Amino acid sequence: MKLVSVVLLIASLLFGQDPALGFAQQTSQQQTTQSTQSQTGPVEGGPTGDNGPIAIPKKPAASTPPPPPPPAPKVKNPPGLGNLSLHVNVPVVTVDVGVVLEKTHQFVPNLKEDNFRVFENGKPQEITHFQRIQAPITAVLLLEFASTSWWFISDMENAAYAFTQQLRPNDYVAVVTYDMHTNILTDFTNNRAVVMNALRSLTIPTWSETNIFDALYTTLDRLSRIPGRKYIILIGSGVDTFSKITLGKCLEKVKETPNVTIFTISTGQMARLMADDRGFGMSGPREMTFLQADNQMQTFARLTGGMSFFPRFQAELPEDFSVINASIRNQYAITYTPTDQKEDGTWRKIHVELVDDEGHPLRMQDEKHHQLKYDIIARDGYRAKQEVN
């Protein structure tokens, strides 16, 4: 030890350096080196000193791998599309179809799904649902209320009450009267009490004129703004006295108004018969007026697929309205998904046909094998939904 100290002293004297300072520098260098190694870690691939590891692997040991991700859900999609979910709004069309005999207007029951063929814009459609339903009605009770004769007013009131008694909870009815003017007593309601109160308000008529053409034209114009099938129960004598609308214009309005069926109940039949028996009141020109009125009532009903009734006794009214109810309530509901699913807002025309088991036009016969003609009552079409961007 003394020899080492002597050597260091000689070296410091030869090189001019303080030995204590040289030791401090060496110690500092070693400490710095160790500090650096402790911060950055030993250099990979070889020894770093007596106090450190002999060798460090060039690649550190791998850490614990994370758990595998859950398996992807199985979705039946075409290859390459990935896990996509498609939501498509498929339009569905339901058509209410009535089938009635042309002569008696009785409903034809017991038809099957295979008896119906539905076409949209001339293309056949596949029926997805079929059932027979009891449909509610939307009707206007159009009443002649004028100071003409007590017999006519009494017949009108009896017929109106008989019709109201057969209403059902889902039926909507409006009450309109006419004389010189057309008056709305109540708007569409499914409350039978409201309809009855409107009828009870008819106490004293004001005018003697019966402007049936004006009243029917105005009612048809209002009904044209209401969607769906509508009915007019026209109860009156059929005589027109002072209308601004002519018969020709009224008939044109009847033809061009869609989805409206008119049923007519003629009043004053018993009074006319009694007057004829007594030889006064209804003969000559006046009789011609009533015959023309009967023809007009029949024409209004025939053009729209309705029926005309000419009851002489009050007891006939319940049976007459039972026939009307059977005709307009019993329907077949047909549902299909149109082949044209474009939402372009266009009008789609619907046509319904009846066929037999072999696909030929259906033929109906009575008990005596006489051919029976029938009418198919269905809406003409619908407007497709307009796509909103």
The CA–CA distances, whole Å, from 105 to 48, 117, 213, 372, 373 equal 113, 22, 25, 11, 10
| Residue-number span of the structural domain to which 350 is assigned | 93-133+331-383
Judgement on whether residues 356 and 236 belong to the same structural domain of the protein: no
pLDDT for the residue 126:
94
Q: How many domains is the chain partitioned into structurally?
A: 2
Judgement on whether residues 365 and 267 belong to the same structural domain of the protein: no
* pLDDT tens, residue by residue, 317-347: 888 888 888 778 888 989 999 998 888 878 7
Say whether pTM exceeds 0.85.
no
Judgement on whether residues 217 and 358 belong to the same structural domain of the protein: no
Q: Please name the amino acid found at residue 253.
A: K
Judgement on whether residues 126 and 267 belong to the same structural domain of the protein: no
* pLDDT tens, residue by residue, 265-312: 999 888 777 776 665 555 556 778 888 899 999 999 888 877 889 988
In a domain, 2, yes or no: no
Judgement on whether residues 205 and 125 belong to the same structural domain of the protein: no
The secondary structure element, H or E, covering residue 101 is strand 93-101
Judgement on whether residues 209 and 322 belong to the same structural domain of the protein: yes
Q: Does residue 11 surpass a pLDDT of 60?
A: no
Judgement on whether residues 192 and 224 belong to the same structural domain of the protein: yes
Judgement on whether residues 124 and 248 belong to the same structural domain of the protein: no
Judgement on whether residues 102 and 182 belong to the same structural domain of the protein: no
The secondary structure element, H or E, covering residue 140 is strand 138-144
Of 89, 14, 1, 21, nearest in space to 337 by CA:
89
In a domain, 57, yes or no: no
**Which class for 216: exposed (0-12), middle (13-18), buried (19 or more C-beta within 10 A)?**
buried
